[in-house]
Structure 1
């Protein structure tokens, strides 16, 4: 199963349309898409506009792959839960966000080796094709707790004040 999350602030038709096209070529794969209502009407994927945190977590656990906007919450969840993730950042030029901070996030996360990034629909389709189903490599993982070194460093800093 592929879980796709587009965030909850604005519609992201470009992502939904690209995923719908991918799903049309993989009718045996379940795609669940969490996205706000959009002008694009998907034909090959299940779109839900709201999920409770429990439902979101359940889809996340069941997923073999995550496709997402470049939201830090989803990126961190994928890294902690050890899920391969492709992010497609929202872009200001397409009226998908108020600025291009998601492009910056995606570039930095990609440069640091954390995520796969598709900046457009063609790149998303290519990445999916190259990964599904036999190359679902996780680029990186992180712990859900801070390391002892970070905690000690914070304690030292607090004590010095």
Structure 2
């Protein structure tokens, strides 16, 4: 099962629509379950729900997780060790999800995009992707420097 989550803060209809289209085109043959939050688009080819108190059971059961690029979601997926693809939601203020994912990519070999047309290829890559740390840069260093500057 592939689990897709858009989080609770911002709608991300484009991601849900893209996953629905991927299932329609049979690029993905396994079941897809989407957490759609406050989005308006209701998938036709995926199971879906809006909210649940805990996503852990869905994440644990998934072969791959597709998630918005929110900090909480991405850090949770990193700690779970679950294969995932992060997708930056352009509705976020100042494109902060893409900025976060670009910076995180310097510290670890994450799979992410802001271009939904890349999603089918990234899903295929995620099946065999191994997350690794990159030497040198650490996201914690950025946070420490930010706090020191305050």
- Alignment correspondent of 1:147: none
SS of residue in 1 equivalent to 2:17:
helix
- Which has the higher Rg, Structure 1 or Structure 2? 1
Q: Counterpart in 1 of 2:131? A: 139
Q: How does 1:6-155 map to 2 (within 5 A)?
A: 6-24=6-24, 25-26=26-27, 28-53=29-54, 56-91=55-90, 96-131=91-126, 135-140=127-132
| Structure 2 unaligned regions, length at least 5 | 134-150
**Counterpart position of 2:146:** none
Q: Secondary structure at the match of 2:16?
A: helix
- Mapped to 1, the partners of 2:125 and 2:132 lie a distance apart of 18
In the TM superposition, structure 1's runs of 4+ consecutive aligned residues that sit over 4 Å from their partners are none
Deviation at 1:114, TM superposition (A): 4.0
Alignment RMSD? 1.8
What is aligned with 1:146? Answer: none
Seen in structure 2, the aligned counterparts of structure 1 residues 128 and 27 have a Cα distance that, compared at 3 Å, is: closer
1:26 CA drift (Å): 4.7
